[in-house]
Amino acid sequence: MNSELKKIIGGENKKNPFTDEEIAEKINLSREKVTLMRKENNIPSSKERMKPLLKKEIKNILTDNPDISIRQLTQKVKENGFAVSRYIVRQEYNKLSAQILNGKNNVENYNSKIDDYSFNDKFSSDKEDSFKEIIGAELSLKTQIQQAKAAVLYPPNGLHTLIIGESGVGKSFLAKKMYNFAEANKRLEKDKFVVFNCADYSENPQLLYSHLFGHKKGSFTGAEKDKDGLIKRADDGILFLDEVHRLSSEGQEMLFNVIDNGFYRKLGETEKNEKVNLMIIAATTEDIKSNLLATFRRRIPLIIDLPPLDKRTLEEKLKFIKLFISRESRQINQQITLKYEAARALLSFDPDNNIGQLESKIKEICARAYLNFISGKNESVKITIELLDLKIQRSFFEGSVKREDIKKLIKDDIILNPDAKKNAIKTDFKQAYKLDNDIYKYLEEKNKELYSLGFTKDEINKKLNQLLAEKVKSVFNQAEDSFFENEEILKEIVSTKVLDMVNDVLVIVHRELPEFVFNQRLKYALSIHLDAVIERIKSGKIIKHPDLREIKQSHEKLFKVSKKIVEYINQEYALQIPEDEIGYITMYLNSVIDSEKQRNKLSRPGVIVVSHGGVASEMLKVANCLLGKSNAVAVDMYLDQPPRQILEDIVMLAKEVDQGKGILLLVDMGSLKSFGDIITEKTGINTKVISRVDIVMLMEAIRWSRYDNLDLNEIAARITKSVNSYTGSREKVLLIYCITGQGAALRIKDYLIHRLPGLEDELKIITTGLHDKNIKKYLNDIAKEYQVEAVIGNLKPDITDIDYYSFEDIFSEKGFDNFIKKHNLQKINVKEFDSAKLLDKNLIYLSPGFNSKKEAIEFLSKKMIVSGSAKDTYYNAVLEKENQGVTYVGNGIAIPHAESKHVNYSQFAIAILEEPIDWSGFEVDIICMFAFKDLKTDHFKEFYNRLQKNIDYIKNADNIDLIKEVLIDG
């Protein structure tokens, strides 16, 4: 088979190489087996085999025509015989264009020149001086670096050091660099950097002593054997005490002997002293005179004070900005352009939490820029001034940084490109996103400690579950959703064998827990966890679950699913995973579920009513009397009170009332409407203002705010509608028109109703063609009977007082978002979602006669595109998704799909085959192609359950209408 594989690849068209699936069809094997054979023979994928030739082709085209667009470039490449998507062409273009267009836009491949700073990456070629990686090492931090070097090199074991500074200035980072410097200069043993967060045991001196110094067998209940502490682990190394101000006085005193004499005793030891040689580095954000004992301070001879970001040079700040953006460029593998105006604002921005907050803000801004790119709004990833928070935008005008100083540093856009260091980044991701096997050992030890301290079994179990949940949360919640869509990073973390195993396991999970069919986070979680399980089994580390019986009882369904997973793995992969591991997998599944629930959790909005005189309080009394006690609060304004004082009171009140879902501010006069933006700016709390409040409006606000599934904008829209019904307001109309006929207008209406189920309950939608009408006169006629909310068309009318949206606006994600926000239509009537719209009977196919998976995907994808539910990119996106993992979900069913960015609105297409076809090694006779956009898990789960429940009927049905009735109505 290997020789046949090489023969086929050797004779292929190099511009259009065979995919693994095409090769599989030629030699009658599954795609997975062909992929495995190819990798065993070190043969690149079809894309990689094509890229050298493609790169040369693109370079030739760009040299002759450097201003060519991506679309034109893709067309030319295809005309020359390459079967490639625009996405692949764009990737190669991004890598080549900066070199070819050198000098045109002051292009700077900054990543290739990072030589002075990195939080996580170790790119320095100077092994003896890791401090060179720090931004400002030769400028604002020169003194601190000299202190750090002196501390490390001071004989015999270095000087104990205290690092002080505000949150986010890089204290932990400097401590790690001191260790790297010591290791490179052979001042201590390798892997001897032990970190201890003093906040963890600040209230329990006995547990603190045990954790730091260890304990003797029998020193307390549950101490069944001698245990070494962290100080022993740090012998001949460095002990880093983070948040040292959280150490109690007793905790500080415990360290005196170690610092003074290099001796300590374990808990329970009365005679024997243990000798230790170590360097202590401590860090704190607090005033050391107020929070540390004078006797402790005197024992730390060296204090390094790290300055806040606003005390660093502007040049250093620019380096931080470039560094953080370049990291994001590597992660998304795209060139990022920082526009000149945005760069000036970021340089002027003074973040409260220093470098840490600057990094966080830039990550958030890059995510917005990337969203504009993948949604098609921009042809490249651009950070413009509009993407920055209002506070950052204002910084350039209100900040203390002089404009002349900024002009000296930047004169044009800054362009940052991904580079070869991407592989190093993936290695760091592997460490960052792979759970430490010691978590299980830690849970066992924690169980014993808590038991010895008198905690009940329920309390211990709750604590252990919380610890594991926190670990999962810290690993999986710190990444954006886009991170988990990148299968390449997962391939770097776990082996191909584990990925194959997880694809099999997901079939079980999808069948038992259909709500996780498209959950990429779950795929990462299972892959990483099972990889750790296999490593433990290979090394002979058998672990015990501290309370397996409780896990079985409290998570019965998940335990059964976990048991099926383990039984399958043991049988198919010849492993012997013990039952205790089932308990941990159950906890793991539960943690991921809880994490998802937390991510989707909605709280209730707060209600504040503000009115002049004592009216607000009186209105609230009446409303509470009629509706029952509410959480709304009233603010009475008096004419002799300064507006600033009232504003400060409302800002404080907003902080108290907010539960995470924002504030509804009802005011009596329009002049108070500006308070909403100010509250949001000062607190970050989303605030919606409605003016001309009366008792009816307040009662409606209280009533609607009690619904858990409504957000702020939807509540505001419902209040306005309800109040208008009392006052006799005219019905609102949305006019959609096309200058050539009504067909395009009807398509826009259909698209909007798919995206916003229940839209027609809020707005009357009128569609028309304007080839025989005067638009201005037509709108005036409608306005006599209705209130025109907005118009959507392909030619802008000569009217300024009505909101207009082009077809392009509505079909673009940004334009669509602007439309629903402007008219308070966000998440409108999602609970009344019309599931009948999910399945058009024209997209149900009986016995279509497919002979292969590719043929089925091509046929159904094109039908979805023609229907308008999917974009032109959908077909290639489905194929790409197929190459990433399993879409077979059991019972002869496959659900091919693509990411939502390739979809206009949610829709299903179903094919019921007469004879099964091979689907990546599984037999499939029902193909349910799924395009999903704004669709909740519950809607998909309901549809999927009906499909499974009626599977035998559907397979034998010969009537399309009945199939639709079964799937939609049950």
- What are the tens digits of pLDDT across the range 501-533? 888 888 888 777 776 665 676 777 778 777 777
Residue 102: its pLDDT value, please? 36
> What is the mean pLDDT of the segment spanning 447-462?
68
The yes-or-no verdict on residue 115 having pLDDT over 60 is: no
CA distance 262 to 264: 7
Q: Which of 109-113, 245-249, 455-459 has the highest mean pLDDT?
A: 245-249
DSSP state letters, 455-522: --HHHHHHHHHHHHHHHHHHHHSSS-HHHHT-HHHHHHHS-HHHHHHHHHHHHHHHHH-GGGTT-HHH
pLDDT on residue 113: 26
Contacts of 584 (CB under 8 A, 6+ apart): 440, 468, 529, 543, 545
pLDDT value of residue 101: 36
Is residue 321 over pLDDT 90? yes
What are phi and psi for residue 480, nearest 5 degrees?
-70, 160
Q: In this predicted model, what pLDDT tens digit does every residue of 289-299 receive, in sequence order?
A: 888 888 888 88
Residue 238 clears pLDDT 90, i.e. is over it: yes
In the chain, % of residues over pLDDT 70 = 78
pLDDT score of 483 more than 60: no
Indicate the helix (H) or strand (E) that contains 259: helix 256-261
pLDDT-wise least confident of 100-104, 140-144, 254-258:
100-104
| 754 or 580, which is more confident | 580
Whether residue 870 has pLDDT greater than 80: yes
Residue 846: both structure tokens together: 């009986």
pLDDT bucket at 486, cuts 50 / 70 / 90: low
Mean pLDDT confidence for 617-641: 81
pLDDT computed for residue 493 by the predictor: 65
- The pLDDT, as a whole number, for residue 436 is 44
Confidence of residue 336 (pLDDT cuts 50, 70, 90): very high
Q: Residue 485: pLDDT band by 50, 70, 90 thresholds? A: low
406-449 tens-digit pLDDT? 878 887 889 888 863 443 333 344 444 444 444 555 566 666 76
**Distance between CA atoms of residues 433 and 210, nearest Å:** 29
Q: Euclidean distance between the first and final Cα of the chain, in Å? A: 48
Mean pLDDT confidence for 302-307: 91
Indicate the SS3 state at residue 834: coil
Among the residue ranges 91-95, 297-301, 961-965, the one predicted with the least confidence is 91-95
Residue 416 contacts residue 109 (beta carbons within 8 Å):
yes
Tell me, what's the pLDDT at 756? 77
When pLDDT is cut at 50, 70 and 90, the band that residue 722 belongs to is low
Rounded mean pLDDT, 201-221: 79
pTM: 0.38
Q: Strand 336-338 and strand 414-416: pairing?
A: antiparallel
Distances (CA, A) of 919 to 30, 40, 858, 885: 8, 23, 14, 12
User: Does the pLDDT of residue 284 top 90, yes or no?
Assistant: yes
| pLDDT higher than 70, residue 938 | no
CA pair distance 343, 406, nearest whole angstrom: 9
Residue 123 has what pLDDT?
31
**pLDDT tens digit sequence for 347-379:** 888 888 889 889 888 988 888 888 777 766 777
Best CA proximity match to 705, nearest among 696, 695, 714? 714
Does residue 608 have a pLDDT over 90? yes
Minimum mean pLDDT range among 536-550, 601-615, 622-636, 785-799 = 536-550
Torsion region of 170: left, alpha or beta (phi above 0 gives left; psi -120 to 50 gives alpha): left
pLDDT band at 831 (very low <50, low <70, confident <90, very high): very low
- Model pLDDT, residue 161: 94
The pLDDT, as a whole number, for residue 920 is 84
Residue 151 near residue 282 (C-beta atoms within 8 A): no
- pLDDT at res. 547: 67
pLDDT (tens digit, 9 = 90+) per residue, 894-925? 889 888 778 877 788 999 998 889 988 888 99
- Determine the residue type at 704: W
Higher pLDDT, 861 or 436: 861
121-130, 322-331, 610-619: which has the minimum mean pLDDT? 121-130
pLDDT computed for residue 432 by the predictor: 42
Those residues with Cβ within 8 angstroms of residue 456's Cβ, 6 or more apart along the chain or in another chain: none
